[in-house]
């Protein structure tokens, strides 16, 4: 059974400006998208440079969030949606329990509402999702 990690994205949605978070993450991330969608500010990121695997990327994103100054952390805490998406190639498809348990452990710390698994036949996307939009 082959499981190959592909990448991880972090997506944020807020009624407030996300530019301070983008600035604080700096060159540690690649900004995949930044702008307004349906009256909400959105930003999505990948870690810049190479990483060994999913655990390292998750921990790196956590260290970036943990390192935010207090006023910028308030912007993070005020986001109505925080989505961490892990893309993995799985053949044949099976549960990846260690990674799922790690996401659940980080769920409360990252203020995530739920963790969703979205499998397809060739690609599994694990999304840690917090959606507080009214």
Domain ranges for the chain:
2-131
Q: How confident is the model at residue 113 (pLDDT cuts 50, 70, 90)?
A: low
User: What value does the mean pLDDT take over residues 88-103?
Assistant: 63
pLDDT at 92 over 60: no
- Give Cα 77 to chain centroid, integer Å: 14
Distance CA 127, CA 58 (A): 12
pLDDT at 49 over 50: yes
pTM of the model as a whole: 0.70
User: What value does the mean pLDDT take over residues 4-24?
Assistant: 91
């Amino acid at each position: 059974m082959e499981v190959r990690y592909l990448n991880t994205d972090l997506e944020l949605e807020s009624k407030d400006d996300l530019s301070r978070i983008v600035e604080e993450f700096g060159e540690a991330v690649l900004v995949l998208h930044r702008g307004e969608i349906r009256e909400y500010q959105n930003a999505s990121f990948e870690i810049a440079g190479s990483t060994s695997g999913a655990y390292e990327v998750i921990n790196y994103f956590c260290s970036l969030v943990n390192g935010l100054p207090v006023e910028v952390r308030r912007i993070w805490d005020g986001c109505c949606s925080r989505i961490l998406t892990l893309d993995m190639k799985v053949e044949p498809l099976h549960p990846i329990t260690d990674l799922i348990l790690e996401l659940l452990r980080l769920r409360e710390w990252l203020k995530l509402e739920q963790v969703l698994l979205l499998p397809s036949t060739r690609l599994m996307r694990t999304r840690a999702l917090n959606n507080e939009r009214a």
